[in-house]
Amino acid sequence: MTDKKLLLHTCCGPCATASVERLLDEGWAVDLFYSNSNILSYDEYQRRLEGVLKIAGYFKVGLVEDEYDHDAWLCEIKGLEAEPEKGSRCGVCFEYSLGRTAAVSGGYSGWATTLTISPHKNSKLIFEIGKKAGGFIEYDFKKKNGFARSIELSKKLDLYRQQYCGCEFSMNRE
C-alpha cells in the first residue's frame, strides 16, 4: 500500500479518465473530489457526477462529493458575467473550486486538478492559483497525450461528454 495519497479535484468523468490512469501508473493512491458549483443546473451537475462515479468504480478509487451551491458561485463571480470564456471570470471560477479542494486536502500528500487536461483551460493560470492555495502538485494532464487518451477512454466507457464548460455564460460558446 502506497503512502503517496493525492486528492484530485475532478470536474467530470471524461477529464478524470486519463488523469487518474496516469496518477495510478505513477504509484499514487487517489481520491476524487467532485467540486462543481459552477455548473448551471442540478440536473447537469448530477449527469456529470454519474460519469465521475463510473470512473471511481472503473479505477477503484475513492470519491468525495463537495456541496453543490451555484448561488454561492454566482456571488463569487458577480460583475464578471459578461467576460468571455478564458477571461477573468474563469480565473475566479478556478479559485473557487480549487480553494475548496485545498481546504479539504489536509490528510493527503498533495492535490491536483483534472482541469489541466482540457485544451480549453490555461494550465499556467491553474498552476498559479493552485500554488497560492497551498499543497498543490503541478500536473498538466494534457501532456503525454493526455487529452487524446481521455477521448479514447471516454468512448470505451461510454461517458457523457458535455459540449460546453458548465456555467450559464459558457453555453453555446465552445
Binding positions for ligand SF4, rule: CB under 6 A = 38, 85, 89-90, 93, 165-167, 169-170
* Nearer CB in complex with ligand SF4: 61/115: 115
Q: At its nearest, how many Å lie between ligand SF4 and the CB of residue 134? A: 21
- Minimum distance from residue 70 beta carbon to ligand SF4 (Å): 10
Complex with ligand SF4: residue 20 or 77, whichever CB lies closer: 77
Q: Which residues pair with 136 in a beta bridge?
A: 111
CA quadruple 157, 118, 64, 104: dihedral, nearest 10: 160
Between 63 and 93, CB nearer to ligand SF4: 93
Least distance from ligand SF4 to the Cβ atom of residue 166, Å: 4
Of 33 and 108, the one with the shorter C-beta distance to ligand SF4 is 33
CB of 14 to ligand SF4, least distance (A): 15
3-state helix, strand, coil in the chain (%, to 5): 50, 10, 40
- Contact status, residue 89 vs residue 80, Cβ threshold 8 Å: yes
Please, what is the minimum distance in Å from the beta carbon of residue 76 to ligand SF4? 10
44/65 with CB nearer ligand SF4? 44
Contacts of 138 (CB under 8 A, 6+ apart): 112, 127, 130, 131
R_g over Cα of the chain: 15
In angstroms, the Cα distances linking 7 to 56, 74, 89, 108 are: 13, 25, 25, 6
